[in-house]
């Protein structure tokens, strides 16, 4: 009974945080119309805001006629693939209290390495794609050793190193893309196309880009959850995150575990980058950091660092992302709205004391009820 | 090629550009120093710089006054700092996450704001004009002495403010009671609290000051350095500032020296990018400032550990 109420409270709290974030977004959408070049009346502004909200919140899954948009659902599921991986990566690293933010760079590095394997290796269908992804994951795991070892051996802040590494990775990838691997016959900078054997195919070939990568992502959600909650390494990671000194004095290998959490994080992020590139595109054409790493942080926060909730959070963000891009296409509200909403989610969802007064009341009420019960029990 | 580079580096122009490039990093690094002294890691410097750069620039355009623009940038910086403070201190959001939120606002939110306020995409392009840029000051006499003149004369008002701020922050931290409280709160919040210092109040003040410095850095970027606002303008300077703070051992003068080192790296990058024959290495060269930052952090961390070891050995021998 007590636990049920607390779960309900946590649910309500999360919902309230999301509602507030959407409300903040709504205010900005309204302001966009109120300040638009074309002078709308107050009524028109409200009407346009309503229309924009409809596109953002209902548009991704329902057409204007009210019919269910199956293609939309496929596209949202497809968009979940990379951010599920970065979300998982962030969960593992943040669980150990390691604020490593190089997921962003890892996605780009992983994508690039996978692309190179896809272009220059010759292998059988199926095996080829697997090799691409494994190599991408391995390279990113190695990259993450840098901030991890610097943290453990020298005490250098993994946060600052990883932030700097994002830029370094971006420029190094751009260097090799532009100077060594560019297909000069094309107008924009891109690599040669991947070999057909290395492509990750769609589950249902309908152009939605919902590839088998989605299935791999879901498998890794389960694997990561098992790793975190059913192995001693996962336990050590969570223990160190909860109380590093306690973990140390109870004999855990703190350094090794910190390194492990970041290497696993890098592996997951790199895998996500590889799968995204090999599934969605035919050549490597990212010219800047793709942003999936930061989205991964939002997802980890929404999932409260629990891998099992990552798909749910990823679905929510992918849905909102789709909604924002629809809103920008049809209502001329910039799709960057998603960043404002995400920032608000960050602030409220991660706020431990948000609605704490209400929780206090709940605790008091529960305790009173318990006391009454024991008192009654004694009387009887 | 090397001689070409040397001849470019050994010019007054190069010295001048180091100072110019260092200033915004220094502002943000001082912001990081003040916050960190109070025990708050302000990772939101990057986003704060972006937002205050945009709003400062726009206010200067609307009012045609650079002073009002700079004041606006500072105000925005303070407000963002206090917002982070509110969420961290009152609602207990992790300070790192609050900072990332501010950075998200700085990344996408600014593009949204730009479109909302002046209906432009990605940059302010034509809005800035010479009269609303931060003016430069030529110091008489010094502007005739070679070498010295490029270090001391002809810089923007805010460049002088940046380097003077090093002194101001030092005075604030070590010669005022507020500074004593800030350091006490950062050193041991419980102890400070037990002698009647309001920890939260001090932290609000510290993060507000930190935001104000980031605001100045932002104003410098959009109203002098880039002469306009664009979405890729700050390019990690807020993060580099965090590294400068760490490398400078959290002290204002140390932060200035490490900011100068990063300024040098960036200036070198700008020079090398212009060299013919190196054109195919432009992207690698662009990563130099970030690599220098990592290397700098490593050297700093390694030296700290060695010093700690030596200290331990010395005390054991006693």
Number of independent structural domains in chain A: 2
Dump the DSSP string for B101-164.
Answer: HHHHIIIIIHHHHHHHHH--SSB-GGG--GGGSPPEEPPTTGGGSTTHHHHHSSEEHHHHHHHH
List chain B domain ranges: 2-317
And the tokens for B122? 């990605």
Directed axis angle between helix A127-149 and helix A158-175, to 10°?
140
Mean pLDDT of chain B: 87
Collect all residues of chain A within an 8 Å Cβ-Cβ radius of residue B97: 297, 301, 346-347, 350
Please write the tens of the pLDDT for every residue from A73-111.
Answer: 999 999 999 999 999 999 999 999 888 999 999 999 999
Mean pLDDT of A108-128: 89
In which band, very low, low, confident or very high, does the pLDDT at B87 lie, cut at 50, 70 and 90?
Answer: very high
Q: Are residues A293 and A342 in the same domain?
A: no
Mean pLDDT of A265-290: 91
d(CA A47, CA A52): 9
SS3 state at A100 = coil
In a domain? residue A73:
no
Please write the tens of the pLDDT for every residue from A292-315.
Answer: 999 999 999 888 899 999 999 999
Q: Are residues A184 and A279 in the same domain?
A: yes
Residue B241: per-residue pLDDT: 92
Q: Are residues A344 and A294 in the same domain?
A: no
| CB A333 within 8 Å of CB A57 | no
Say yes or no to pLDDT of B144 above 80. no
Residue B2: per-residue pLDDT: 66
In a domain? residue A228:
yes
Q: In terms of C-beta density within 10 A (0-12 exposed, 13-18 middle, 19 or more buried), how is residue B255 classed?
A: buried
Mean pLDDT of A184-196: 82
* Cβ–Cβ below 8 Å for A347 and B87: yes
Q: Are residues A173 and A217 in the same domain?
A: yes
Q: Are residues A199 and A161 in the same domain?
A: yes
Backbone dihedral region for residue A21 (phi beyond 0: left; psi -120 to 50: alpha; all else: beta): alpha
φ and ψ at residue A70, rounded to 5 degrees: -60, -45
And the tokens for B93? 């959001």
Architecture field, domain B2-317: Orthogonal Bundle (1.10)
Q: Are residues A288 and A345 in the same domain?
A: no
SS3 state at A182 = strand
Residue A207: per-residue pLDDT: 78
Mean pLDDT of B105-122: 88
| CB A282 within 8 Å of CB A120 | no
Directed axis angle between helix B157-175 and helix B12-37, to 10°?
30
* Cβ–Cβ below 8 Å for A346 and B101: yes
Alpha-carbon torsion A300, A301, A305, A306, what sign? negative
Instruction: Count the neighbouring beta carbons within 10 Å of the beta carbon of residue A340.
Output: 24
Q: How many Å lie between the alpha carbon of B173 and the closest alpha carbon of chain A?
A: 24
Instruction: Count the neighbouring beta carbons within 10 Å of the beta carbon of residue B21.
Output: 24
Most confident of A118-122, A141-145, B196-200, B314-318: A141-145
Q: How many Å lie between the alpha carbon of B240 and the closest alpha carbon of chain A?
A: 8
In which band, very low, low, confident or very high, does the pLDDT at B5 lie, cut at 50, 70 and 90?
Answer: low
In which band, very low, low, confident or very high, does the pLDDT at A2 lie, cut at 50, 70 and 90?
Answer: low
* Cβ–Cβ below 8 Å for B304 and A155: yes
Residue B159: per-residue pLDDT: 92
Q: Are residues A267 and A343 in the same domain?
A: no
> Which residues, at least 6 apart from B129, have a Cβ–Cβ distance to it below 8 Å?
none
Residue A143: per-residue pLDDT: 94
Q: Are residues A281 and A377 in the same domain?
A: no
| CB A143 within 8 Å of CB A266 | yes
Please write the tens of the pLDDT for every residue from B118-130.
Answer: 888 878 877 777 7
Query: A134 lies in which domain range?
Result: 79-305
Q: How many Å lie between the alpha carbon of A167 and the closest alpha carbon of chain B?
A: 7
Percent of chain A with pLDDT over 90: 38
Note the Cα A145 to chain centre separation in Å: 21
Q: Are residues A242 and A298 in the same domain?
A: yes
φ and ψ at residue B178, rounded to 5 degrees: -60, -45
Interface probe, candidates A31, A99, A158, A160, chain B, greatest B C-beta count within 10 A: A160
* Cβ–Cβ below 8 Å for B242 and A35: no
Please write the tens of the pLDDT for every residue from B241-256.
Answer: 998 998 888 899 999 9
* Cβ–Cβ below 8 Å for B305 and A165: no
Percent of chain B with pLDDT over 70: 96
Residue A380: per-residue pLDDT: 66
d(CA A250, CA A78): 44
Directed axis angle between helix B288-317 and helix B252-273, to 10°?
150
Boundary residue ending a domain (A305, A327, A358): A305
- Which residues, listed in sequence order, are joined to residue A62 by a DSSP beta bridge? A68
Cα dihedral B17, B18, B20, B22 in deg (nearest 10): 160
| CB B32 within 8 Å of CB B243 | no
* Cβ–Cβ below 8 Å for A178 and B283: yes
Greater confidence (B303 vs B114) lies with B114
In which band, very low, low, confident or very high, does the pLDDT at A1 lie, cut at 50, 70 and 90?
Answer: very low
| CB B35 within 8 Å of CB B252 | no
Say yes or no to pLDDT of A5 above 80. no
Q: How many CB pairs under 8 A join A and B?
A: 146
Interface probe, candidates A45, A52, A154, chain B, greatest B C-beta count within 10 A: A154
In a domain? residue A67:
no
* Cβ–Cβ below 8 Å for B302 and A294: no
- The pTM (predicted TM-score) of the whole model is 0.88
Collect all residues of chain A within an 8 Å Cβ-Cβ radius of residue B304: 155
| CB B214 within 8 Å of CB B73 | no
Comparing alpha-carbon positions, the chain A residue that sits nearest to B235 is A167
* Cβ–Cβ below 8 Å for A351 and B91: yes
* Cβ–Cβ below 8 Å for A352 and B43: no
Nearest-CB residue to A301 (from B92, B97, B108): B97
Q: Are residues A331 and A266 in the same domain?
A: no
Q: Are residues A259 and A286 in the same domain?
A: yes
Q: How many Å lie between the alpha carbon of B180 and the closest alpha carbon of chain A?
A: 26
Residue A56: per-residue pLDDT: 86
d(CA A328, CA A27): 16
């Amino acid at each position: 009974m007590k636990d049920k109420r607390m779960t309900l409270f946590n649910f309500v709290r999360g919902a309230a945080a999301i509602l507030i974030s959407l409300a903040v977004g709504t205010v900005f959408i309204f302001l966009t119309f109120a300040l638009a070049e074309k002078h709308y009346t107050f009524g028109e502004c409200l009407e346009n805001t309503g229309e924009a909200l409809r596109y953002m919140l209902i548009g991704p899954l329902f057409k204007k006629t009210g019919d269910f948009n199956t293609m939309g659902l496929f596209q949202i599921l497809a968009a979940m693939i990379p951010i599920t991986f970065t979300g998982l990566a962030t969960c593992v690293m943040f669980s150990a209290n390691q604020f490593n933010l190089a997921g962003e760079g890892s996605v780009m590095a992983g994508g690039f390495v996978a692309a190179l394997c896809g272009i220059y290796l010759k292998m059988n269908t199926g095996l080829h794609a697997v090799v691409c992804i494994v190599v991408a994951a391995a390279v990113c795991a190695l990259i993450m050793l840098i901030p991890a070892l610097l943290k453990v051996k020298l005490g250098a802040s993994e946060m600052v190193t990883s932030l700097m590494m994002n830029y370094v990775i971006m420029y190094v990838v751009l260097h090799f893309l532009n100077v060594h691997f560019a297909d000069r016959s094309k107008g924009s900078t891109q690599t040669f196309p991947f070999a057909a054997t290395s492509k990750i195919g769609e589950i249902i070939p309908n152009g939605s880009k919902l590839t088998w990568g989605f299935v791999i992502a879901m498998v890794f959600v389960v694997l990561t959850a098992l790793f975190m909650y059913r192995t001693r390494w996962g336990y050590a990671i969570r223990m160190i995150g909860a109380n590093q000194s306690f973990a140390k004095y109870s004999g855990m290998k703190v350094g090794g575990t910190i390194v492990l959490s970041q290497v696993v994080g890098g592996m997951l992020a790199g895998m996500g980058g590889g799968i995204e590139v090999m599934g969605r595109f035919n050549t490597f054409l990212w010219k800047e950091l793709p942003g999936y790493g930061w989205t991964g942080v939002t997802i980890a926060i929404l999932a409260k660092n629990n891998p099992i909730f990552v798909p749910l959070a990823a679905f929510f963000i992918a849905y909102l992302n789709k909604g924002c891009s629809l809103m920008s296409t049809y209502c001329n509200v910039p799709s960057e709205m998603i960043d404002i909403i995400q920032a608000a989610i960050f602030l409220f969802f991660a706020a431990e004391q948000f609605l704490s007064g209400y929780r206090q009341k709940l605790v008091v009420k529960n305790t009173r009820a318990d006391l009454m019960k024991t008192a009654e029990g004694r009387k009887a | 090629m090397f001689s070409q580079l040397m001849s470019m580096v050994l010019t007054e122009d190069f010295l001048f550009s180091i100072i110019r490039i260092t200033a915004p990093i220094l502002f943000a690094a001082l912001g990081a120093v003040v916050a960190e002294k109070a025990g708050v890691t302000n990772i939101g410097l990057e986003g704060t710089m972006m937002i205050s750069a945009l709003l400062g620039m726009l206010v200067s355009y609307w009012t045609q006054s650079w002073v009002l623009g700079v004041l606006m940038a500072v105000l925005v910086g303070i407000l963002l700092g206090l917002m982070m403070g509110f969420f961290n201190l009152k609602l207990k959001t992790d300070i790192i996450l609050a900072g990332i939120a501010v950075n998200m606002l700085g990344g996408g939110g600014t593009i949204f704001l730009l479109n909302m306020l002046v209906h432009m995409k990605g940059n302010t392009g034509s809005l800035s004009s010479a009269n609303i840029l931060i003016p430069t000051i030529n110091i008489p006499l010094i502007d005739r002495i070679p070498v010295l003149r490029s270090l001391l004369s002809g810089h923007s008002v805010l460049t002088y403010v940046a380097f003077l701020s090093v002194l101001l922050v030092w005075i604030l931290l070590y010669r005022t009671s507020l500074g004593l409280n800030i350091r006490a709160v950062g050193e041991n919040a419980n102890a400070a609290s037990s002698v009647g210092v309001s920890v939260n109040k001090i932290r609000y003040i510290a993060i507000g000051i930190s935001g104000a410095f980031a605001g100045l850095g932002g104003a410098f970027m959009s109203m002098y350095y880039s002469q306009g606002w664009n979405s890729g303008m700050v390019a990690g300077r807020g993060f580099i500032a965090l590294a400068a703070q760490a490398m400078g051992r959290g002290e204002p003068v140390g932060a200035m020296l490490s900011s100068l080192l990063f300024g040098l790296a960036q200036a070198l990058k700008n020079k090398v990018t212009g060299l013919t024959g190196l054109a195919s290495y432009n992207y690698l060269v662009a990563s130099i400032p970030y690599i220098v930052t990592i290397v700098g952090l490593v050297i700093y961390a390694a030296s700290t550990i060695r010093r700690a070891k030596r200290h331990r050995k010395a005390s054991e021998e006693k």
